[in-house]
Structure 1
Amino acid sequence: MDIQFIRRLAELLEKSAIDEIEVVEGESKVRITRHAAPVVPQNVTYHAQPAPLPAMAPESIQAPAAAPVAAAESAPQGYMIKSPMVGTFYRASSPEAVPFVEEGSIVKAGQTLCIIEAMKLLNEIEADVSGKIIKVLASNGQPVEYGEPLFIIAPED
C-alpha cells in the first residue's frame, strides 16, 4: 500500500461518520481509527488516616450497648426477603402501574414482589414463602446491594 492511498483513507474517515477503517491487502494491513486509544485505568491506592477518637466519660461508653438491643426489639419480626443482586429496586412494572405488593398484602410463594434492574435487565423478585407483607424496606427507584433486606413477611402458619 502506498502512502497516498493511506492519506485518502484518512481523509475519507474525517469526512464521514465512520469511526474506523481497516484494509487488508495481501500481507499488508492498515487500520485508521478516529478515536484515541482507550485509556488504561491505573490502580490508585488512598491511605486514609484514622479519625481520632473523642475522649469519653466511662458512663457514655456503656450507654450505646443498650441502643442496639432497643433497635432490635422494635424491628419487625418475620421472614426477610433479601436482594439477590446489586441493582435498582422498583415496586411496580412501570411508573404508572400499581405496586406488586403493599404492606399488609397477602402473598403466595412464587408471587412477584418487586423488580430489580441490573445491567439493563429487569429481574422479577419472587416471594420464597407465603404470608403477609409486614414491611417494605426499600424505596422505589432506590439502589440496592446484594443481601440488602427488601421485605419482611409474616409466614403463614
Structure 2
Amino acid sequence: MELAVQHDLAELEVEQGGTRIRVVRERSAQAGERAPRAAAPGAAGALPTEGLEPALEASLVKVEAPMVGTFYRAPGPDTAPFVSEGDLIKEGQVLCIIEAMKLMNEIESKLTGRVAKVLVENGQPVEFGQPLFLVEPRR
C-alpha cells in the first residue's frame, strides 16, 4: 500500500508463484492531493474512429489495457510491431507489451479478427481500461 501512495498509483496488482494480490486505493478530494486528470478534448467516451465505415464501427470490439503502464507496440526499439492496422490476429496472439513497475507484460488477444485501429502511440502511458485497439471480430 505504501508503494501505491508513494507513486500515486490508483491500483497495484502483484502476481508471484500463482498468488495474485490486487490493491485498489480509494481517492478523496482533500486539499493537498492531486486533482484528477482532465479527460482529453473530445474524449467523452468517444473513440478515434475517423475513416472507418459506420457499419464497421458498430461491430468493432475494444481491446482494453488490463493495467496501468507504458504501451509498447514491439518487443524492442528496432523490431517490427506485434500487430499493425489491417493485420489478422488469433486468440492468444500477443498484441503489445505494457510495462508496469519494470515488468514487461505481454497483452494477448482474447478474440480472432482483424485490427481495425491502433489507438495508442508507442511509448505512451496507458490507464486501466483504456482502449488500445479496435478489432473487427471474425470466426
Compute the TM-score of the two structures, normalised by the length of structure 1: 0.54
| CA spacing shift, 1:111–1:89, aligned 2, 3 Å | same
Letter paired with 1:146: F
| CA deviation vs aligned residue, 1:73-125 (integer Å, no higher than 9, x gap) | 85734111000000000000000010000000000000000000000000000
| Cα distance in 1 between the residues matched to 2:127 and 2:47 | 22
Q: Return the match for 1:123 from 82, 85, 105.
A: 105
| CA spacing shift, 1:130–1:122, aligned 2, 3 Å | same
Partner of 2:41: none
Q: Within the alignment, does 1:45 sit opposite 2:31 as a pair? A: yes
Contiguous gaps of at least 5 residues in structure 2: 1-5, 7-29, 34-43
What does 1:73-84 align with in structure 2 at a 5 Å threshold?
76-77=57-58, 78-84=60-66
Contiguous gaps of at least 5 residues in structure 1: 1-40, 48-67
Q: Return the match for 1:132 from 96, 114, 138.
A: 114
The percent identity for this pair of structures is 50
| Cα distance in 1 between the residues matched to 2:47 and 2:97 | 29
Q: Secondary structure at the match of 1:151?
A: strand
What does 1:1-157 align with in structure 2 at a 5 Å threshold?
45-46=31-32, 76-77=57-58, 78-157=60-139
| Cα distance in 2 between the residues matched to 1:83 and 1:121 | 15
Letter paired with 1:45: A
Which of 1 and 2 has greater Rg? 1
Where is the helix percentage greater, Structure 1 or Structure 2?
Answer: 1
Q: Tell me how far 1:45 sits from its aligned partner.
A: 1.3
Supply the RMSD in Å over aligned alpha carbons. 3.0
Partner of 1:11: none
How many correspondences in the alignment? 96
Compute the TM-score of the two structures, normalised by the length of structure 2: 0.61
| CA spacing shift, 1:154–1:73, aligned 2, 3 Å | closer
Whether the aligned pair in 1 keeps the contact of 2:48 and 2:119 (CA below 8 Å) is: no
